[in-house]
Amino acid sequence: MRRLTRKSLRVGKYSVPTLALLAVIVGSVAAAAYVVLSFTATLTVAANPKVAFVEWATSAKKNTFDYAVNIFPSVKTVDENSTYGVWNWDTAAHTAYLRIVGITNSANIQRVYLKVHDGVSTVVSVEWLSGEALPQAWTMFTAAASKKYAVWVEVTGASGAAVGSSSVVSVEMKVEAP
């Protein structure tokens, strides 16, 4: 090794240390070795996944929905059966997940609690308390075959909630084998 650090090669009118030249050659060879693999995916458009939201008034399946409610400082507002639910319209059970991903103007909100239930038991629930990080981790649940579930929403306004301002709670539902 000592011999390589002392020796130099003459390239034209320049003298290049042997070790530096060897490093450039080895680095060039290593950087040029790679392989490219590829695949294709055929994507078929379907109206809704097997587990979707359902609008109670029309029984229509929905992929998204908007929900609005008034909240009040230091008061818990409860909607035991919001205008939308969750519906597994397939003949097989599906694994699904729920999480709260974001809250705008979170200073207005002390607590958010959501649960999906069948009228008797809770299938899944998620909760956010003021100051907690978002997005949350996914919470798993099993949507039984051919089953509709209600969505329960509780929001507690913060004591310093600004009257007249709005907050938006963003919720995601992920469905396996849609």
Helices of type H across 38-160: none
Structural domain boundaries in the chain: 2-31, 51-175
**pLDDT tens-digit readout, 72-83:** 999 999 998 789
Return the pLDDT at 3: 59
Return the pLDDT at 91: 97
Return the pLDDT at 149: 97
Return the pLDDT at 73: 98
* pTM summary value: 0.76
Return the pLDDT at 34: 84
**pLDDT tens-digit readout, 93-140:** 999 999 999 999 999 999 999 999 999 999 999 999 999 999 999 999
The first and second tokens of residue 38, run together, are 């590829």
What's the Cα-to-Cα distance from 25 to each of 20, 28, 30, 37, rounded to whole Å?
9, 5, 9, 27
Our measurement of the distance from residue 117's CA atom to the centroid of its chain's CA atoms, rounded to an integer in Å, reads 22
Return the pLDDT at 17: 72
Q: Which CATH class is domain 51-175?
A: mainly beta
At residue 14 the predicted structure's pLDDT band, cuts being 50, 70 and 90, is low
Q: Is the bond leading into 135 cis (omega within 30 degrees of zero)?
A: yes
**pLDDT tens-digit readout, 20-57:** 666 666 655 555 688 888 999 999 999 999 999 999 99
8 pLDDT above the threshold of 90: no
4 pLDDT above the threshold of 60: no
